[in-house]
Amino acid sequence: MKRKLIYESLAILLFISFLGVSCSSLKPLKQSNFAVTPSPLETVGNKIPVTVNGIFPEKWFNANATVSITPVLKYAENKESESTAYTFQGEKVAGNATVIPKDRGGNFTMIFSFPYQPEMNVSELFVRFDAKIKNKPVKLPEIKVANGVIATSTLASALSTKPSVADDGFQKIIKQTQDANILFLIQNAALRQSELNKEGLAAWKKRVEEAYKDPKQNIYIEVSAYASPDGGVSLNEKLAAEREKNTTEYLEKELKKKNIDTEVNAHYTAEDWEGFRQLVQASDLQDKDLILRVLEMYPDPETREQEIKNISFVYEELAETILPQLRRSRLIANIEIIGKTDEEIMSFWENDPQKLSVEELLYATTLTDDPAQKERIYQYVTVNFPQDYRGWNNIGTLFYERGEISKAQQAFQRAIQVAPDAPEANMNMALIALLNNENDKAEELLGKASQAKDIDGALGLLYLKNGDYNKAVAAFGNTKSNNAALAQLLIKDYSRASETLVNITNPDATTAYLQAVIAARTNKYAEVLSNLQTAIIRDKSMAKRAANDLEFAKYHTDRDFIALTKQ
């Protein structure tokens, strides 16, 4: 009897112990214990950033429990992507995890992201539990906390971004200037034979004659006579005028001998202080900085002259080296060389390309809309001017626009080998990097491309892919492109985005698809259907995208929408 009572007591104690353990076991949490932002999920660049705010209810967390929560995105057929687990522990557990008091419970936040893949558009976000109490596993069911991914930001495309073409240096009119000086003795306006016989003056007259006789050159002649700043202003005024008169008369006689009938524009400057400053600045005078300060401090010519003369040890050197060069008449031949006409350039290209310069060849590509013709010209440039990076870069842009990315990359790399700092080639290599989602590499390359033409599109795309939409909008400026409109859409500036899309020169399927997204966000049902129809006509794959796109979630049961996207 006594033994029976002992057994009964032990049974009661075991039952009470069982009740105690079962009451302290972890119970399944509910979906309402979790709030997901954003919901549905949404891509930022090429990632899916998620914030989950959760709550452990009062009395839920066992003091001896450890609970790890892992976010899991399930998609396609049996595919899933796990993010980093967050671990929590009870008050009696020795560890470094976040402690959750049993009596009060607690709130928690998990911030994580998934690398985006197109299959994730149709997906479900779960939280998965790994729990134990005193090293004994406790099974908790996983909980679905969000549906699907809005992937509108992934419509950003490097392929639709315009690559940078290096400009030609062709000028229809090339301006040249040829100078010659005739020097005079101090306080004298007479022309000296020694000056008139100088080689420089002979070369100047020869160049004038060549220009005048060439029907593709125009010439304008100018005479500027000067007196040096030493001496009184009235004396220098008279002296400079006489030098101008004597030089002009001499020049007109010389031009007449060669039957050159062109006007000579003559003028004089009484005291050539500007010429004085330039010569002093370029000299190796010991105290030139002191002289330059005097010029700045004293605007009055007579005061200037006196102050400079007061520096006696400097003035002697000035009188020997600087002032004699200012007693002169300057002969200036302004020449305009008229380049080949567009017709001449294309005729030479077709019949005798060797007579074209590299600048003329590169310019020739702007005279045709035929990509094959452009490619032939660039090929010719790369063969005959292999050290000019522009031929390699520009042929690469043709490959890029045709979608021949491997060939484009090889051409851009060759351009960089020839000219490592070529801004256009570096920008185009940045586009290749963005195409491969190598954003850091693209940013480095764009740092070398600040002077590249059309860099706004590449910079805007980089900011788009980094999820910095406001910077993207600023970088695009007034660019009319799908990417620019997408950036405006993502900051919810729907009016501006619509205007951008309407003004795109060559709209494509993405253009119409973005217009449909804007229509859906602004509740314009008819425009949703009409724009989607246009997008699908241009690219049939848009039907499948729209059918699964949560941008159009409220239309997924609409009969007309289903009929349109069921292709």
Q: 450-500 pLDDT, tens per residue?
A: 999 999 999 999 999 999 999 999 999 999 999 999 999 999 999 999 999
| Chain segment 497-550, per-residue pLDDT in tens | 999 999 999 999 999 999 999 999 999 999 999 999 999 999 999 999 999 999
Q: What is the pLDDT of residue 276?
A: 82
- Please give the DSSP secondary-structure letter assigned to residue 44: B
Kindly give the residue spans of alpha helices, DSSP state H, lying in 120-259: 193-196, 199-213, 233-257
| Chain segment 356-411, per-residue pLDDT in tens | 999 999 999 999 999 999 999 999 999 999 999 999 999 999 999 999 999 999 99
Average pLDDT over residues 237-255: 93
Contact 527, 545 (CB under 8 A): no
Q: What is the pLDDT of residue 425?
A: 98
d(CA 487, CA 467): 9
Q: Report the topology of domain 173-338.
A: 60s Ribosomal Protein L30; Chain: A; (3.30.1330)
Q: What is the pLDDT of residue 273?
A: 79
Contact 163, 431 (CB under 8 A): yes
Three-state SS string across 209-246, please?
A: HHHHHCCCEEEEEEEEEECCCCCCHHHHHHHHHHHHHH
| Chain segment 69-90, per-residue pLDDT in tens | 999 999 988 899 999 999 999 9
If pLDDT is split at 50, 70 and 90, which confidence band does 10 have? Answer: very low
If pLDDT is split at 50, 70 and 90, which confidence band does 233 have? Answer: confident
If pLDDT is split at 50, 70 and 90, which confidence band does 9 have? Answer: very low
Q: What is the pLDDT of residue 335?
A: 92
DSSP for 264-312, please give it.
EEEEEESS-HHHHHHHHHHS--TTHHHHHHHHHH--SHHHHHHHHHHSH
Domain 23-150 grouped into CATH 1.20.1440.230: no
Instruction: Indicate the domain borders of the chain.
Output: 23-150, 173-338
3-state DSSP call for residue 315? helix
Proportion of the chain above pLDDT 70, given as a percent: 94
Rg (Cα) of the chain, in Å, rounded?
Answer: 41
Residue 12 has pLDDT above 50, yes or no: no
Residue 351 has pLDDT above 80, yes or no: yes
Proportion of the chain above pLDDT 90, given as a percent: 77
If pLDDT is split at 50, 70 and 90, which confidence band does 312 have? Answer: low
Residue 19 has pLDDT above 70, yes or no: no
d(CA 128, CA 70): 5
Nearest one of 31, 30, 37, 69 to 53, comparing CA atoms: 37
Q: Is 535 left (phi over 0), alpha (psi -120 to 50) or beta?
A: alpha
| Residue reference for tokens 């290599």 | 429
| Chain segment 101-143, per-residue pLDDT in tens | 999 999 999 999 999 998 999 999 999 999 999 989 999 999 9
Average pLDDT over residues 132-155: 95
Q: What is the pLDDT of residue 11?
A: 42
If pLDDT is split at 50, 70 and 90, which confidence band does 15 have? Answer: very low
Residue 6 has pLDDT above 50, yes or no: no
Q: Which of 9-23, 227-241, 416-430 is most confident?
A: 416-430
Residue 441 has pLDDT above 70, yes or no: yes
Which distant-in-sequence residues (6+ apart) come within 8 Å of 145 by Cβ?
31, 34, 36, 52, 125, 126, 127
d(CA 183, CA 225): 10
Mean confidence (pLDDT) of the chain: 90
Two structure tokens written together for 127: 């939280």
3-state DSSP call for residue 381? helix
Q: What is the pLDDT of residue 8?
A: 46
Residue 290 has pLDDT above 80, yes or no: no
What's the predicted TM-score (pTM) here? 0.74
| Chain segment 401-418, per-residue pLDDT in tens | 999 999 999 999 999 999
Q: What is the pLDDT of residue 291?
A: 73
Bridge partners of 268? 225
d(CA 416, CA 407): 15
Nearest one of 408, 345, 415 to 373, comparing CA atoms: 345
| Residue reference for tokens 């590499």 | 441
Residue 245 has pLDDT above 60, yes or no: yes
Q: What is the pLDDT of residue 277?
A: 83
Q: Which residue has the higher pLDDT, 398 or 21?
A: 398
* Segment (H or E) for 53: strand 47-56
d(CA 537, CA 540): 6
Residue 7 has pLDDT above 50, yes or no: no
Q: What is the pLDDT of residue 24?
A: 53
